[in-house]
């Protein structure tokens, strides 16, 4: 079953115990208009796991950053509607210069990408010219263009392990993923001090209380979380790896420390598992990415209909950013199926 067929099937079969989406004639109408526009325009909708359930359900492909980059690379659609954040849509454009790429809300940025301004990064690189630069995909095209290779949370360990042991590494922009990679690979790296506001929001005190209440629960976490939380997690992985783990693990209950949009696919694909979103520090919805959530079904429909707002960049920047991205996809394929 292709991912597109699988999503089509899942759309209408949420599984027992999964709360039904609030249905309204307007919502159903938007779904059918989106389907029709997709056919008319030979368009494809790619969505990240952190998008709203409705957006995930209308998408042709839902995945983590690596899977989405690969889906964008092999796409033959004339129009790519990228339901995710700016750096992801930019990645799709870098890999698909001849296709139009639109993002439902152009303001959908990323705190991690924003934490690494190109000029300041160039200055750090200039001080360490001998370093091999590995950038996490959550960065702008201008940072990708200054990198030797890109990685995602799915392939980061293997990418770092592929770099000759005597070569010093500069890793940007996520200090938490960087510190976790140092621990996993034993490689000391120079780390850019960026972070994701969502993954640094979890309350270890509240998680500890949940673990007392649910002693059978397994704590699973994304590597963008802080080291002290990761030290307590029983499983660490990218969004796709967390989803796969919940589906395949014999355990029944999970405390999930990542953006809570992923729970939608977990509930659909593992309807008999109990899923507890890790609580944020404040009494807020801070475990929801405010950037991802700027995209809505209505904005997605408008972006598909009007083919705007479009992602554009100069060809010079695109070519410089493409090389390390292609290197990642190439290395990733060589390293193995899951990297
Ligand atoms: P992955 O889906 O690659 O795990 O990335 C998570 C994320 O933070 C995307 O912004
Ligand atoms: Fe960026 Fe964090 Fe949102 Fe991912 S969850 S897009 S890393 S701010």
Using DSSP, state whether 268 is helix, strand or coil.
Answer: helix
- Is the pLDDT score of 200 beyond 50? yes
So what's the pLDDT on residue 285? Answer: 84
Interatomic CA distance for residues 21 and 14, integer angstroms = 9
Query: Do the Cβ atoms of 279 and 207 come closer than 8 Å?
Result: yes
* Closest C-alpha residue for ligand 2 atom 5: 289
Atom of ligand 1 at shortest distance to CA of 65? 3
Please state the pTM of the whole predicted model: 0.92
Average pLDDT rounded to a whole number, residues 203-211: 96
CB of 292 closer than 6 A to ligand 2? Answer: yes
Burial class of 50 by CB neighbour count within 10 A (0 to 12, 13 to 18, 19+): buried
Q: Would you say residue 337 has pLDDT above 70?
A: no
Ligand 2 atom closest to 110 (CA):
1
Q: What is the mean pLDDT of residues 90-99?
A: 95
Question: Is the Cβ atom of 262 under 6 angstroms away from ligand 2?
Answer: no
Ligand 1, from 111, 137, 152, 328: best to mutate by most atoms within 8 Å of Cβ? 152
- What is the Å distance from ligand 2's center to 63 Cα? 15
Whether ligand 1 lies within 6 angstroms of the CB of 224 is answered as yes
According to the model, what pLDDT value does residue 242 have?
98
Section 168-181 average pLDDT: 98
Mean pLDDT across 102-111: 98
Q: Which long-range contacts (CB under 8 A, 24 or more apart) does 106-111 make?
A: 106/309, 107/291, 107/294, 108/84, 108/291, 108/292, 108/294, 108/295, 109/85, 109/291, 110/85, 110/86, 110/138, 110/196, 110/291, 111/194, 111/195, 111/196, 111/197, 111/198, 111/291
Each residue's pLDDT tens digit, 46-82: 999 999 999 999 999 999 999 999 999 999 999 999 9
Nearest CA to ligand 1 atom 4: 238
Q: What is the pLDDT of residue 6?
A: 37
Distance separating alpha carbons of residues 58 and 287, to the nearest angstrom: 23
Q: What is the DSSP letter of 1?
A: -
Secondary structure percentages of the chain, helix, strand, coil, to 5: 45, 15, 40
Arithmetic mean of pLDDT over the chain:
92
> Using a 6 Å cutoff on CB, does residue 286 contact ligand 2?
no
- At residue 38's C-alpha, the angle toward residues 33 and 43, to 5°, is 150
What is the Cα–Cα distance from 237 to 220, expressed in whole angstroms?
8
Q: How far is the CA of 223 from the centre of ligand 1 (A)?
A: 9
Atom of ligand 1 at shortest range from CA of 241: 4
């Amino acid at each position: 079953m292709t991912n597109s067929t699988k999503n089509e099937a899942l759309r209408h079969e949420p599984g027992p115990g999964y709360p039904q989406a609030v249905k309204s004639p307007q919502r159903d109408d938007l779904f059918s208009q989106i389907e029709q526009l997709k056919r008319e325009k030979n368009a494809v909708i790619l969505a990240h796991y952190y998008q709203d359930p409705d957006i995930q359900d209308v998408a042709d492909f839902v995945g983590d950053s690596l899977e989405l980059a690969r889906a964008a690379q092999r796409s033959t659609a004339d129009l790519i509607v990228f339901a995710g954040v700016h750096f992801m849509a930019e990645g799709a454009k870098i890999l698909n210069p001849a296709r139009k790429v639109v993002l439902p809300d152009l303001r959908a940025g990323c705190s991690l990408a924003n934490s690494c301004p190109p000029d300041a990064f160039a200055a750090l690189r200039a001080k360490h010219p001998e370093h091999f630069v590995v950038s996490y995909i959550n960065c702008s095209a201008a940072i990708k263009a200054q990198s030797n290779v890109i990685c995602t949370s799915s392939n980061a360990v293997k990418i770092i392990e592929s770099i000759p042991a005597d070569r010093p590494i500069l890793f940007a922009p996520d200090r938490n993923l960087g510190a976790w990679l140092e621990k996993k690979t034993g490689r000391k790296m120079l780390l850019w001090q960026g972070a994701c506001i969502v993954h640094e929001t979890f309350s270890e005190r509240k998680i500890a209380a949940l673990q007392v209440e649910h002693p059978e629960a397994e704590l699973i976490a994304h590597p963008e979380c802080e080291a002290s939380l990761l030290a307590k997690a029983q499983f660490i992985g990218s969004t796709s790896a967390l989803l796969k783990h919940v589906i395949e693990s014999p355990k029944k209950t999970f405390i999930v420390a990542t953006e809570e949009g992923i729970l939608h696919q977990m509930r659909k694909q593992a309807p008999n598992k109990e899923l507890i979103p890790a609580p944020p520090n404040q009494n807020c919805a801070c475990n929801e990415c405010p950037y991802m959530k700027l995209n809505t079904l209505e904005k997605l429909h408008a972006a598909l209909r009007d083919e705007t707002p479009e992602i554009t960049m100069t060809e010079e920047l695109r070519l410089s950013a493409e090389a390390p991205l292609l290197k990642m996809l190439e290395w990733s394929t060589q390293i193995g199926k899951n990297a």
